[in-house]
Amino acid sequence: MDYVRATQIAATVGQGAAFLFGLAGLFGNPMLLFIAFFVWMGASQEASLVQVKNALGGIPVNQAMLTNYETVSPRDNLSRISQLILAGSQHDFPVVDGGRIVGVVTRDDFLAALTRQGQNVTVSSVMRSNLPAIDSYEMVEMALMRIQEAGVPVLPVTHAGQLVGIVTTENITEYLMIRSALKVTARVPLV
């Protein structure tokens, strides 16, 4: 039995126990309701986490990254980002200076600075410059971990030190949805 299936069975057993604790809590000790809730949630989260890790296993970032994106210069004003946001669907922008990635401007940082300081502020005063990058051949699972650790929605993707893309939680999710749909399609026999 594989790890994913074993975890799913363990989570189902845990949720069954939580259900019984919940019933006991309704007719007896109400503290059991709290225990039931936390056991149920813990089992659900563990099963979901294992399924996501399994789905992401072995997928390099270069398969899930965005390759059609806009960059900004540290000398640009926020008005440039306003134009780019209105012209497309990109939310976060790599900041490139002399061909090197020097930072990222997230949508939240952009909107906060725009509200406080207006459009004439330079990108360099708003960008996050200590953002980790990920190599295009590293795994998507590692990208998600770095995104969570950095507390940002986007990571620059590099290869041999050059920016080759960006990766967001949103496009990783889209990649998984497309991959899942293709697996379903592959199982449907052609008539």
Fill in the DSSP letter of residue 103: E
As a whole number of angstroms, the distance between CA 56 and CA 169 comes to 12
Q: Which helix (H) or strand (E) holds 191?
A: none
pLDDT digits (tens, 9 = 90+) for 29-82: 888 777 878 777 877 766 665 666 666 678 899 999 999 999 999 999 999 999
Cβ neighbours around 105 below 10 Å, total = 25
Q: Give the pLDDT of residue 20.
A: 80
User: Does the domain made of 61-175 have the CATH classification 3.10.580.10?
Assistant: yes
Q: Which residues of the chain have pLDDT under 70?
A: 3-4, 7, 45-56, 184-191
As a whole number of angstroms, the distance between CA 119 and CA 77 comes to 6
Going by C-alpha positions, the residue among 83, 136, 121, 81 that lies closest to residue 105 is 81
Domains of the chain, by residue range, sit at 3-56, 61-175
Backbone angles phi, psi at 81, to 5 degrees: -65, -40
Cβ neighbours around 66 below 10 Å, total = 16
As a whole number of angstroms, the distance between CA 48 and CA 141 comes to 14
Q: Give the pLDDT of residue 191.
A: 44
User: Which region holds residue 110: left if phi is over 0, alpha if psi is between -120 and 50, else beta?
Assistant: alpha
